[in-house]
């Protein structure tokens, strides 16, 4: 890294939101990955990909924003990364959070592919 290079003022951390619509106990977001996504830096030069940990963070971020998720992370299970998410790729993020179960089900997919999926468990912050 060049120490004299200016720091990027507003790094792009999230995909572009194209649209959204409600689903059973959740929401489906239509998203597009920007070419200048900050997480591409150093995550691989020849073919930049969205790291799995970023996909998990996005699922939690959007669940907090659109589903009112306020609980504290507990653990994850059945997390599978099947296909790469690449620059300028369009996809849907399906989020389902049945509050009684305290788990967030996420799925990154298109009409023809499933990119990743899993369950993130939470516990009530007031407990």
Instruction: Establish if 1 belongs to a structural domain.
Output: no
pLDDT for 92 beyond 70:
yes
Q: How many domains in the chain?
A: 1
Residue 7, pLDDT above cutoff 70: no
Is it the case that residue 3 has pLDDT exceeding 80?
no
CA distance 84 to 67: 26
Q: Give residue-wise pLDDT tens across range 71-81.
A: 889 999 999 99
pLDDT tens, residue by residue, 36-60: 999 998 767 788 999 999 999 999 9
Can you give the pLDDT at residue 82?
97
For residue 126, pLDDT over 80 is answered with no
DSSP 46: S
pLDDT recorded at residue 4: 43
d(CA 22, CA 13): 24
Whether 21 maps to a domain, the answer reads yes
Whether residue 5 is contained in a domain is answered as no
Q: Which residues contact 71 (CB under 8 A, 6 or more apart)?
A: 102, 122, 123, 124, 125
In-domain check, residue 78: yes
pLDDT band at 13 (very low <50, low <70, confident <90, very high): very high
- Which pLDDT does position 46 carry in this prediction? 80
Is-contact 8 2, C-beta < 8 A? no
Cβ–Cβ < 8 Å for 109, 118: no
- The answer to whether residue 2 is domain-embedded is no
CATH of the domain at 94: 3.10.129.10
Please give the residue that has the higher pLDDT: either 20 or 101: 20
* Prediction pTM value: 0.87
Residue 90 lies in a domain: yes
Cα Rg of the chain, angstroms: 16
Domain that includes residue 91, residue range: 16-123
Q: Is residue 3 part of a domain?
A: no
Residue 24: inside a domain, yes or no? Answer: yes
């Amino acid at each position: 890294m060049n120490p004299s290079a200016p720091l990027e003022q507003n790094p792009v951390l999230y995909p572009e939101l194209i649209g959204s619509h409600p689903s059973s106990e959740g929401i489906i977001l239509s998203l597009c990955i920007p070419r200048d996504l900050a997480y591409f830096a150093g995550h691989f030069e020849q073919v930049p990909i969205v790291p799995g940990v970023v996909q998990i963070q996005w699922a939690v971020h959007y669940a907090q924003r659109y589903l009112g998720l306020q609980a504290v992370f507990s653990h994850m299970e059945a997390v599978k990364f099947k296909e790469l998410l690449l620059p300028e790729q369009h996809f849907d993020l399906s989020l389902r959070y049945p509050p009684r179960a305290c788990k967030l089900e996420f799925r990154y997919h298109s009409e023809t592919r499933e990119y990743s999926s899993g369950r993130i468990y939470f516990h009530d912050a007031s407990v």
